Amino acid sequence: MKNENLYKYILGIADNNLILGQRLGELCGHGPSLETDIACTNISLDLLGQVRSYFQYAALIANNESSEDDIAMLRPEREYVNILLVEQPNTDFAYTMAKQFLFDAYHYLFIQKLQSSKDETLSAIANKAIKEVSYHYRFSSDWIKRLGDGTEESHDRIQNAINDLWTYTNELFSQTEADKAMIAEGIGVDTVVFKEDYYNKVSEVLKEATLEIPESKYFQKGGKEGIHTEHLGHLLSELQYMQRTYPNMKW
């Protein structure tokens, strides 16, 4: 493939949105209130809409007759390169919001930078997505504050969720060979540049929510290399069910 690094770079961005969008979609009909339920479903649709744009571009680059659906639905588990954070199970509403918040804070900073990409298609996707991503961050950070500064139970639940998910945050800033190649060409985003801003941004919200900032320095990674937790396989079995049960089905 002529532009293999660009193809891999796009998958690295899009797979995060795809898996998180699928995970968030599981909450549909199970939210704590109708308004929150609808908001979470809409955020899931936003993420999947962005995924379509990325995968359409990836299919064009691949130039092998694969479609956006093929890329999304027909890859084996080891070919997904999403970070481990987004594949973690919802567990409860606190975990869902903690996971969303820890990703949203990163995603907002990332999309801001991607708008300046030398690749016109990626820049256009970022310019279109920035308003959605900004809303996602406001929504999840507001919930962190509501849960953290709410009842004793809500405080404990969100603190436990932040503590458990914190171990996956450092992988947001690890870079693959494709990432490095695209950064060198001015196409990709050097995420290390805003790593400190990310943790400062997250810490400010946690402090406002009367939550403790985890002190653990132990971080897990592997998702970007296709090494995942057991949770991804179960998620993909649902995501890919229709395509694998009825091959080549067209809507």
The total domain count for the chain is 1
User: The tokens of 71 are what?
Assistant: 């890329």
CB 104 within 8 A of CB 21: no
pTM over 0.85: yes
Q: Which amino acid is at 179?
A: D
Read off the pLDDT band of 245 (50, 70, 90).
confident
Question: Is position 157 within any domain?
Answer: yes
Q: What is the pLDDT of residue 208?
A: 97
DSSP state letters, 117-141: -SSHHHHHHHHHHHHHHHHHHHHHH
Contact 90, 172 (CB under 8 A): no
Task: Tell me whether residue 153 is in a domain.
Answer: yes
Instruction: Give the per-residue pLDDT at 138.
Output: 97
pLDDT in tens, 166-204: 999 999 999 999 999 999 999 999 999 999 999 999 999
110 located within any domain: yes
Asked if residue 17 belongs to a domain, the reply is yes
The pLDDT, as a whole number, for residue 248 is: 74
Q: Which amino acid is at 79?
A: E
DSSP per residue over 2-55, as a string? TTHHHHHHHHHHHHHHHHHHHHHHTTTT-SSSHHHHHHHHHHHHHHHHHHHHHH
Q: Are 80 and 237 in contact (CB under 8 A)?
A: no
CA separation, residue 217 to residues 31, 34, 108, 185, 246 (Å): 33, 38, 24, 32, 46
Amino acid (one-letter) located at 174: S
Label residue 38 by pLDDT band (50, 70, 90). confident
Show the domain range for 63.
4-245
> What pLDDT is attached to residue 193?
96
* Structural domain contains residue 250: no
Q: What is the CATH number of the domain that holds 239?
A: 1.20.1260.10
